[in-house]
Amino acid sequence: MKPLVECVPNFSEGRDPKIIDAIAESIRRESGVKLLSVEPDKDYNRSVVTFVGEPEAVKGAAFQATKTAAELIDMRHHQGEHPRIGATDVVPFVPISGVTMQDCVRLAHDYGKRVAEELKIPIYLYEEAAQAPERKNLATIRKGEYEGLPEKLNDPAWLPDYGESIFNAKSGATVTGARFFLIAYNVNLNTNDKDIAHEIALRIRESGRTIKDEQGNSIKVPGALKAVKAMGVLLERLNIAQVSINLTNYTMTPPHVAFEEVKGEASKLGISVTGSEVVGLIPKEALLMAGRFYCGVDAIEQNEQQLIQQAINRLGLSQFEQFDPQKKIIEYMI
């Protein structure tokens, strides 16, 4: 089996096509790598890039893309809806075939060490590459965002895993690691109230929310769905609020389960769901699961294409931009 690793770096630039194209081109130039998708978002001011290839080639392409981003993106002028800590915000390595999770952990270490040494960007390791339990969660590392990074770097508890505790004002910091295939999945609402979207996010995400009891003690109230991270955002260009979701293990919580949960919570708040979107690529099985769910007893009579189309229709994946299975399903792209 050919060893294949996926890399999905997120860059803090979603508005300047010249910068986005330059980052993409730095990946295309690497032999042994196939660039699968580049998805900029103007409201998030962020681009999600997906590429696959042989492990060493992917590691090299990730470094070259980070180097290009460090040259062209200045975090001192960055504004956007999405939390971020650096120009190259997060660089996950994902095992696809013929490689183990531990292989991807080693790639993250090698990449992080090189970025810290050559580009002078502090590196934090997360997920399966995390060196401490409190660093496993990306949101925990990114708390305070770029603006809070100088204070974080001065905190002995938050020394970088690679690099010095010196604030790089232009590039910020980068988080890298190894993880299971993540589906970036957003559900659209018929309101522009970001607070409502965030309330739904608090209700569905695994971490839930923190409340105070009668004695003033903090209590964690978990949300409804396992392996789900979520927050509310406002998409100004469309004037809608959105529940922005990361499905960290789609076999535990697939997109259709998250979609139906958001729909139910939205109804309780007097609003409705209008559609959804996948950012980046999605495994075929995740859509087949949705197709089978919505077809019910008739699923056995449907072929693969019909099940996928049913999922696209019922999840409203083409609400604002046509969902093309040939360009969005990773198995079809490789």
Q: What pTM does this model have?
A: 0.84
pLDDT class of 213 with cuts at 50, 70, 90? confident
Please tell me the predicted confidence (pLDDT) of residue 215.
86
Would you place residue 214 in the very low, low, confident or very high pLDDT band (cuts 50, 70, 90)?
confident
Instruction: Select from 285, 305, 49 the least CA-distant residue to 184.
Output: 49
Plot region of 275 (φ>0 → left; ψ -120 to 50 → alpha; else → beta): left
| Average pLDDT rounded to a whole number, residues 47-59 | 97
The answer, yes or no, to whether residue 274 has pLDDT greater than 80, is yes
183-333: CATH topology is Alpha-Beta Plaits (3.30.70)
Given a cut of 90, whether residue 97 has pLDDT beyond it is no
Q: Supply the DSSP string of 239-273, one letter for each residue.
A: TEEEEEEEES-TTTS-HHHHHHHHHHHHHHTT--E
As annotated, the residues of the chain forming the CATH 3.30.990.10 domain(s) are: 4-178
Where residue 45 falls (left for φ over 0; alpha for ψ -120 to 50; beta otherwise) is: left
Cα distance between residue 19 and residue 53, in whole Å: 23
State which fold the 4-178 domain adopts. Formiminotransferase-cyclodeaminase; Chain B, domain 1 (3.30.990)
DSSP 154: T
Return the number of other C-beta atoms located less than 10 Å from residue 211's C-beta: 10
Structure tokens, 215? 């004695």
Residues 28, 30, 32, 33: is their CA dihedral positive or negative? negative
What's residue 334's pLDDT?
A: 84
**pLDDT value at position 297?**
87
Residue 299 pLDDT: 85
pLDDT of residue 130: 98
- CA–CA separation, 52 and 266 (whole Å): 37
Residue 241 one-letter amino acid: A
pLDDT tens-digit readout, 1-49: 689 999 999 999 999 999 999 999 999 999 999 999 999 999 999 999 9
Neighbours of 117 (CB within 10 A): 12
- What is the mean pLDDT of the segment spanning 241-264? 97
What b/e string do you get for 133-172 counting C-beta neighbours within 10 Å, with b at 16 or more?
eebbbbeebbeebbeebeebbeeeebebbbbeeebbebbb
pLDDT in tens, 176-185: 999 999 999 9
Q: Which helix (H) or strand (E) holds 20?
A: helix 17-28
pLDDT tens-digit profile of 152-171?
A: 999 999 999 999 999 999 99
Q: What percent of the chain has pLDDT over 90?
A: 93
CATH 3.30.70.670 maps onto the chain at 183-333
pLDDT bucket at 245, cuts 50 / 70 / 90? very high
Confidence band for 212, pLDDT divided at 50, 70 and 90: confident
Provide the annotated active-site residues.
82
Give pLDDT, residue 31: 95
